[in-house]
Amino acid sequence: MPELPEVETTKRGLEPYLVQQRIESICVRQNKLRFLVPEEIQQLVGQPILRLVRRAKYLLVETPTGTALWHLGMSGSLRIVEHHCAANKHDHIDWLLSNGKILRYHDPRRFGALLFFPLNTPIQPLLHLGPEPLTAEFTAEQLWQRSRHKKQPIKTFIMDNSVVVGVGNIYANESLFLAGIRPQTAAGKLSLARLTNLVTVIKEVLAAAIQQGGTTLRDFVSAEGKPGYFAQQLFVYGRAGQPCLRCHSTLCEIRLAQRSCVYCPKCQR
DNA sequence: ATGCTAACCTGCGCGC
DNA sequence: TGCGCGCAGGTTAGCA
């Protein structure tokens, strides 16, 4: 599924059902996700959930014995269901909770992951991540310095998790449209002023998406199982060949690093 | 060092 | 109606 706003929305939706509950049992029906679900995940059984944390697109579930780390991949979702609710196709993992509810992981493409890190061991996937986009650590100065002499296109640059986390394909496309920058522009060629604009826009776009309940995604499902809002307010993503909503030019599509890039040839230079 | 490619999977929509 | 193709929200190992 998910871009950062969807993960944040999932985290907020799950919190009231998970925090302070005990994990009574864990049922793994399919352990072949992006990584094999480790046996050690069973160490969570009997543990109370202390808090949920989101870092990048990872959702961390903290307990006294260690931390579970979820990643939802391309098509994963987590939701709360009643304990009698039968599992459907692609419902790979259940956590039975002390409040009688089930935390259920669904993921058709199985690009997601569930890992366990015992207390005081390093959480490897988090070690080399760049700043969170919605914090003060993500600045234009930092982006500017990192990008000097880079020929890499700005789009793949901002999607690099060591530069800044949580900017996926949809929001990369939208942010570059709003900043008036062509996706293929070499990152190193952009002025501090233009990068300042880009940083501002990335923060605004992600914050707005979270505020709207997290989703611009067709098949997004909230923690309560309600479908997400249908794609609203996307200026370019998924609109190749259609008119620019600002100037009515026909939107172009190219590919960078095998990801589609839609842009307006007039508004983005 | 940098940056691109392929790969991991299933489902869906399109053209024929 | 069915089949094959290409594409889809992410990440990363490996290669040039």
Question: pLDDT for A113-138, tens place per residue?
Answer: 999 999 999 999 999 999 999 999 99
**Helix (H) or strand (E) segment spanning residue A66:** strand A66-71
> What is the identity of the amino acid at A148?
R
Separation between the CA of A84 and the C1’ of C11 (whole angstroms): 35
What is the structure's pLDDT at A228? 44
Pinpoint the alpha helices (H) of chain A: 4-18, 140-147, 154-158, 169-179, 192-211
> Which residue in A2, A5, A131, A183 is the catalytic one?
A2
Known catalytic residue: A3? yes
Lowest mean pLDDT among A143-157, A170-184, A221-235: A221-235
Give pairs for A236-241: CB < 8 Å, separation 24+: A236/A173, A236/A174, A236/A177, A236/A262, A236/A263, A236/A264, A237/A169, A237/A170, A237/A173, A237/A174, A237/A262, A238/A262
**Distance in Å, residue A139 CA to nucleotide B10 C1':** 38
Per-residue pLDDT, A218: 46
What does strand B contact on the protein, if contact means CB under 7 A? A 32, 34, 74-75, 89-90, 108-111, 150-153, 156, 256-258
For the question of residue A34 being annotated catalytic, the response is no
* Residue A229 predicted with pLDDT over 60: no
C8 nearest neighbour residue (CA to C1'): A74
Rg (Cα) of chain A, in Å, rounded?
20
Structure tokens at A128: 């080399």
pLDDT in tens, A157-186: 999 999 999 999 999 999 999 999 999 999
Residue A222 has pLDDT above 60, yes or no: no
Task: Note the pTM of the prediction, 2 decimals.
Answer: 0.93
**A145-159, A213-227, A250-264: segment of lowest average pLDDT:** A213-227
The larger pLDDT score, comparing residue A50 to residue A208, is at A50
For chain A, what percentages of helix, strand and coil (3-state, to nearest 5) are there? Answer: 25, 25, 50
| Active-site residue, A246 included | no
- Confidence grade of residue A231 (pLDDT, cut at 50, 70, 90): very low
| pLDDT, averaged across chain A | 92
Which residue gives the smallest C-alpha to C1' distance to B6?
Answer: A258
Residue A201 structure tokens: 């826009």
pLDDT on residue A42: 97
Edge-to-edge strand order for the sheet containing A58-63? A51-55, A58-63, A66-71, A113-118
pLDDT at A233: 78
A155 is catalytic: no
